[in-house]
Amino acid sequence: MFKTMIISISFALVSPALLAKGLKDLKPDSETIEKAKETIDQVKEAVDKKLEGKEVEPKKDKQQEIKKEVEKKEPTGDGEFYLGLGFGFASLKGSGGSWDTGFSGDFELGVRFMKIMGDRVQLYGTYRFVPVDIIVTENANQYKGVVEQHLFGASARYVLASKLHITAHGALGLASSSLKPTGTLTSTEDPEESGAAISLGGGAQWLVSSKVWLGAFLSLGAGTFQYSQLGVSTTVSL
């Protein structure tokens, strides 16, 4: 349609020369026709060049930029820091006596120090505090208390999907028990223990809002106490 308009305009520019000859000489001579054809060809050539010069790629680039902007606006749960709170069930055993365990807590603070594979893998330095409720029976005496673990290490978060991350952690630290007798003691032996602790584990987290994750995790520990922990957690990225 654009080419047709250009051709029409060209005829409109040439027609006054034809009309000037009057109705008697309305039929143009061969020279006039040739000039008109040359003018039309020049206009068509200019239009073709202009159309050929138009690039389609910028439109694609613009679409890609828009897509990137949308992706940036989508919640990713990214953060330089994170706070995690969890609870679950734990099985823990010391060096002597019978150990019964129940609920466990899990508080974690992470500080990101590296990204690899783009943003697909994020590494954090971590501190974890893990208290476990325990009941110890030794030499007919029963004690109730808690084992506390203070662990320093690292965790990794792998982006499996936009809202699903796989996590893994490893840490070293100290563990100690604090016990009180539940009745009259029949011996003076102290079952409390303390020493080194090692923890390894992993889990999965699902992004439920822009900065909040819900997940499940499994931890295994060795050292002064042997333990396993299965729980759920809430993590907030900061």
- Enumerate the β-bridge partners of residue 168: 156, 202
Query: Could you tell me if 217 and 200 are in contact, meaning their C-beta atoms sit under 8 angstroms apart?
Result: no
What is the C-alpha separation between 148 and 65, in angstroms, rounded?
51
- Enumerate the β-bridge partners of residue 64: none
Please name each of the domains of the chain with its CATH number.
Answer: 2-54 (no CATH), 73-237 (2.40.160.20)
Query: Could you tell me if 167 and 200 are in contact, meaning their C-beta atoms sit under 8 angstroms apart?
Result: no
Task: Return the closest-CA partner of residue 206 out of 196, 198, 217, 195.
Answer: 217
**Global confidence as pTM:** 0.67
Tokens found for residue 14: 């040439």
pLDDT in tens, 135-172: 988 888 888 999 999 999 999 999 998 889 999 999 99
Q: Please, which pLDDT band fits residue 96 given cuts at 50, 70 and 90?
A: confident
What is the C-alpha separation between 234 and 206, in angstroms, rounded?
10
pLDDT in tens, 196-225: 999 999 999 999 988 899 999 999 999 999
30, HSE (Cβ side, Cα atoms, 13 Å): 0
Task: Return the closest-CA partner of residue 219 out of 173, 164, 177, 171.
Answer: 171
Q: What is the DSSP string of 70-113?
A: HHHHS-----SEEEEEEEEEEEEE-SSSEEEEEEEEEEEEEEEE
